[in-house]
Amino acid sequence: MPREDSPSTLRLLDVDDSTGDDTPTTVVAGESFPFLMNPEAVEVLPLNFDVSLAVGGLPKFECSLSPNTREARLLNDSPWVRGLGSLEMRVQTEGWKFPTPPIDLPPRPVLDKKPAEELIPTDEVVPDLPDPVPVPPKKPPVRSKPAGDTVLFKDRLLYLLQPPIDHLIGCKSVGVPFEPFPYQLEGIAFLMPRHSALLADEMGLGKTAQVILAIRLLIQAGMVRKVLIVCPKPLVYNWVRELKLWASDLPNEIFAGDTELRRATWFVSNCPVKITNYELLTRDAEFLSDDRASFDLVVLDEAQRIKNHDSRTAQIVRSIKRSRSWAMSGTPIENRPEDLINIFGFVDPGRVPRDTPSKRIPQLTADCILRRTKDDVQSDMPPKFLRDLPLELTPPQREAYDLAEKEGVIRLNDLGETISVQHVFQLVMRLKQICNFDPVTGSSVKMEQLLADMEEVAANGRKAIVFSQWVEPLEVLAKALAPYGPMQFHGKIPSPQRPAIIDQFKSDPTKHVILMSYGTGSVGLNLQFTNYVFLFDRWWNPAIEDQAINRAHRVGQKHPVTVTRFLAENTIEGRIADVLNAKRKIFNDLLEQNGPPPSLGLSEDEIFGLFDIKARPKKNGDSEAKAA
Amino acid sequence: MTELKLPSSIHLGFLTVFPEGAGFLGGYLVTNSWGRPVEFRLSTAVQPNKVQQILYGHTLTEYLCAELIGKTLVEKTATPVQLLVTDNLSVLPIRTRLDIPTILVRSEDGVSESGLDVPMIRLDHQRSSLPLWWREDHRADDELIRAILDRVDPALELTEPFTRIREAMTEARKMGATSRAA
């Protein structure tokens, strides 16, 4: 049925695109279709327009339509043009200022001005030289790179933008007595960007020179202003000498005198480089809590001195306020892997937790350690000949030795469960002393051999070092070696006198031999003008022996070095040597990432194993021989 | 800048601009006379659009290198320099915009192959493994340039700092610094 109210109305659904409204719009047929209203225009047909469209039955969309619209520029908008965009170009910049170098010396005068330094018109032909000099291949420059843990972009930039080390060394500002070796330049490039570093080069490769040059470059670049060097007491003057040699423009000051004087050095002095020793540092512990006692860089020489984590020295060293921590040691692992962990307690606290498994240590420390051996870097260095010289004890020595050992073993066995490693140790020391000299007659096969060897050394105009564990044998030897101008350098010689002794030994051609104790002379000294080293008796640890030997076999040595290790046959010395030799070969394993040795010194079992004794102490935990 | 009176400590500015994708990127390193870094500045990459390319035509590269990037970098840097050194020929016209003697370090082939029709002055100097160049119309700088070069420490080789700048810009790109330059 047609609807009465609107018989010709179409009800359309229109979508208003401006509002989104779906309100129905009514269109009247007569308005939209005018011809329908003019009866003359068309023939009237009996059509019934009563049409009704029903929407209800049609399928519906699941959701209501919501069309989107956008404005469109119509073609009749005038003018019809596209924008050109900005005609102006813009640039943004970002900049960084770096620490100002504290000094700026005028450049060296140019002595050899080339005649080629002339203006040449570009159209003029320059003839080739008739016989050009061959140019040696150019070495790649040695550059410092930011360390892995340098995270700030500005800090990374600072290192990336530094001039090559090899360009700086030798310029006016960084004059050096002689050109460092390439591996030393690499060492400097390693140290400079690092806030935590362990320079663990083998003894004799010039660690001190590398550290001094790195300090010098950092100070000149304005990156470091206050440096503290901590070293063993006997090496203080050695540092002063080396500083004078490699950084004569750097003032340095030694901590010395009474408490008030030292207080002034800690708090008042503006000297850029200060040097103290471990013993004095311990006495000055109270000053370290003061904020004025803070440093941009602290260098620990012979850093194995802090291998015992809980020692007072280690605790005090770790308490020094500092931005950068460098350690130096040719033997960072003297006994066990924990030595290295404890050194890292200073180098980078927290990097290597104390309970870190040994196998993980190389992974954690690799970025901070630089270790080179002579084999790695110095293929052209003169060779080192090791001569193990087995000697038969003199009859009085043999008699005294056999008796002492026999009685000693009996006494040890009598001790039963009360025996301790110290008891065994006392016997070992007693026997070693007999191997040096017979206590009654003073007879000594080693001294006889040494006198014979020294004759040859002196005849060739060479110099020798003799090492012993004790001072007393050295004093006896000094008398026997009188024809060879012996000099003594051991614990009984006051520290201030020691530099003069070294200087005289070096310069006086009549002084052919210096007698040193391992404790005083095995570290830090540069004796590369000597070509013979005699180990009169053996130390407990191969690392210490190596240090002693490397006083002579080091950078700057021009001739082969002969090392003679005296060994009394069929004695305790031979048995100790066997144990130590077996261990020596694994000494570098940890640093070479092949897994650490459990210990480098003699363990308790190994000390007991030196004798045929059945007695053993009651076990109560680890008891490695401390002296070893 | 015609007086020969130089300050007690001189500074050198090493300026380079090089293509980066479809645009250009600039780096500027100020050093003392030994080559130690004093200040460093880098630019964002500038990428001209089509219209700019058409408008500037063959002057576009010079405008970008010397005027837009080069001059901006020098002017925004706090440390004044006595000599500008560049390794890009298109930066050399910066001399007409700044009162700082400017030299180019480049091989002879590099200059001749550029097709530059401006007469150039060449100087072979101990401080550079490559010849030094500047434009003939800045001949008045001769004396000053030579005086400054004599003050440069022999440890500094004038081509070397550009290696440092490029390494620093590579690092900047890795760390996203060029996109946030402001």
Q: What percent of chain B has pLDDT over 70?
A: 93
CATH code where residue A453 lies? 3.40.50.300
Q: Best of B6, B16, B34, B124 to disrupt the A interface by mutation (most A CBs within 10 Å)?
A: B34
- Selecting from A110, A160, A163 the residue whose C-beta is nearest the C-beta of B156 gives A163
> Which residue has 């032909």 as its token pair?
A125
Position A89 pLDDT exceeds 60 = yes
Q: How far apart are CA A166 and CA A543, in angstroms?
A: 32
pLDDT(A282) > 80: yes
Q: Examine the domain organization and report whether A246 and A389 are in the same domain.
A: no
Last residue of a domain, one of A339, A360, A377: A377
The most confident of A173-177, A319-323, A460-464, A520-524, by mean pLDDT: A319-323
Beta bridge partners of A321: A294
Quote the tokens at residue A388.
Answer: 């193990």
pLDDT (0 to 100) of residue A13: 40
Render pLDDT for B123-180 as a digit per residue (tens, 0 to 9). 999 999 999 999 999 999 999 999 999 999 888 999 999 999 999 998 888 877 554 4
Same domain, A344 and A420: no
Min Cα–Cα distance to chain B from A262, Å: 36
- Which of B35, B51, B168 has the CB atom closest to A85's CB atom? B51
Tokens of A100: 């100002």
Q: Which residues of A touch B179 (CB under 8 A)?
A: none
- Is residue A123 situated within a structural domain? no
Is residue A16's pLDDT more than 60?
no
Edge-first strand listing for the sheet containing A464-468? A384-391, A561-568, A532-535, A464-468, A513-517, A487-489
Which bin fits A383, alpha (ψ -120 to 50), beta or left (φ > 0)?
beta
DSSP structure class, residue A191? H
Per-residue confidence band for A390, with pLDDT thresholds at 50, 70 and 90: confident
- Mean pLDDT across A276-304: 94
Are A7 and A50 spatial neighbours (Cβ–Cβ below 8 Å)?
yes
Token pair 């160049």 in the structure block, residue: B133
Is residue A560 scored above 70 in pLDDT?
yes
- Decide which of A377, A402, A437 is a domain's last residue: A377
**Do B38 and A100 lie within an 8 Å CB cutoff?**
yes
DSSP string, chain B: -------SS-EEEEEEEEEETTEEEEEEEEEETT--EEEEEEE--B---HHHHHHHGGGHHHIIIIIIIIIHHHHH-SS--SEEEES-GGGGGGGGTSSS-EEEE--HHHHHTTT--S-EEEE--TT-SS-EEEEGGGGGGHHHHHHHHHHS-TT--TTHHHHHHHHHHHHHHHTT-TTS--
Query: What secondary structure letter does DSSP report for A25?
Result: E
Asked if B181 lies within 8 A of A164 by C-beta distance, the reply is no
Domain-located, residue A183: yes
B36, B120, B125 member nearest A221 (Cβ): B36
For chain A, the first-to-last Cα distance in angstroms comes to 120
* CA atoms of A193 and A165, how far apart (whole Å): 12
Q: Is residue A129 included in any domain, yes or no?
A: no
ipTM rounded to 2 decimals: 0.90
Q: Report the pLDDT value the prediction gives residue B166, as an integer from 0 to 100.
A: 93
Number of A–B residue contacts, CB under 8 Å: 163
Kindly list the residues from chain B whose CB atom is less than 8 angstroms away from the CB atom of residue A117: 123-126
User: Into how many domains does chain A fold?
Assistant: 3
Q: Are B147 and B123 in contact (CB under 8 A)?
A: no
Is A108 inside a domain boundary? no
Domain shared by A332 and A414, yes or no: no
Q: Could B34 and A98 be called an inter-chain contact, meaning their C-beta atoms sit closer than 8 Å?
A: no
Residue A65 belongs to a domain: no
Q: For residues A521 and A395, state if they share a domain.
A: yes
Determine the residue of chain A that is closest to B128 in CA distance. A117
Q: For residues A427 and A408, is the Cβ–Cβ distance under 8 A?
A: yes
Sequence-distant (6+) residues with CB within 8 A of A508 are A485
Of B42, B154, B161, the CB nearest to A108: B154
CB contact under 8 A, B126 and A221: no
Interface with B, mutate which of A81, A120, A160 (most B CBs under 10 A): A160
The pLDDT value recorded for residue A228 is 97
Residues A367 and A399 in one domain: no
A366 and A428 co-located in one domain? no
Chain A residues within an 8 Å CB radius of B35: 163, 167-168
Question: Is A342 in the same domain as A392?
Answer: no
CB contact under 8 A, B122 and A172: no
- Residue A3 banded pLDDT, cuts 50, 70, 90: very low
Task: For residue range A114-146, list pLDDT tens digits in order.
Answer: 443 444 444 444 444 444 444 555 677 888 888
> A398 and A356 in one domain?
no
Domain final position from A358, A377, A396: A377
Judge if the upstream peptide bond of residue A79 is cis by omega within 30 degrees of 0: yes
Residues A267 and A158 in one domain: yes
Q: What distance in Å separates the CA atoms of residue A158 and residue A160, rounded to the nearest whole number? A: 6
Q: Which residues of A touch B73 (CB under 8 A)?
A: 93
Task: Tell me, yes or no, whether A223 lies in a domain.
Answer: yes
Q: Which residues from B are below 8 Å from A84, CB to CB?
A: 51
Residues from chain B that touch A85, judged by Cβ atoms under 8 A, are: 49, 51
Establish if A615 belongs to a structural domain: no
Residue A10, pLDDT > 80, answer no
**Distance from B154 to chain A by nearest Cα, in Å?**
7
Euclidean distance between the first and final Cα of chain B, in Å? 30
Cβ separation B180–A173 shorter than 8 A: no
Out of A95, A117, A122, the one facing B39 most closely (by C-beta) is A95
Question: In a 10 Å sphere around its CB, with 0-12 CB exposed, 13-18 middle and 19+ buried, how is residue A318 labelled?
Answer: middle
Inter-chain CB proximity B34 and A171 less than 8 Å: yes
Which of B10, B36, B130 should we substitute to test contact with A (largest number of A Cβ atoms within 10 Å)? B36
Cβ–Cβ of A220/B42 closer than 8 Å? no
Domain span including residue A48: 1-53
Same domain, A227 and A298: yes
The domain that contains A372 carries what CATH number?
Answer: 3.40.50.10810
How far apart are the C-alpha atoms of A87 and A564, rounded to whole Å? 84
For residue B59, pLDDT over 80 is answered with: yes
A contacts of B124 (beta carbons < 8 Å): 114, 116-118, 120
Residues A389 and A367 in one domain: no
Do A317 and A451 have their domain in common?
Answer: no
**Are B153 and A87 an interchain contact pair (Cβ–Cβ within 8 Å)?**
no
Determine the average pLDDT of the residues in A511-522. Answer: 88
Q: What is the mean pLDDT of chain B?
A: 88
> Is residue A116 situated within a structural domain?
no
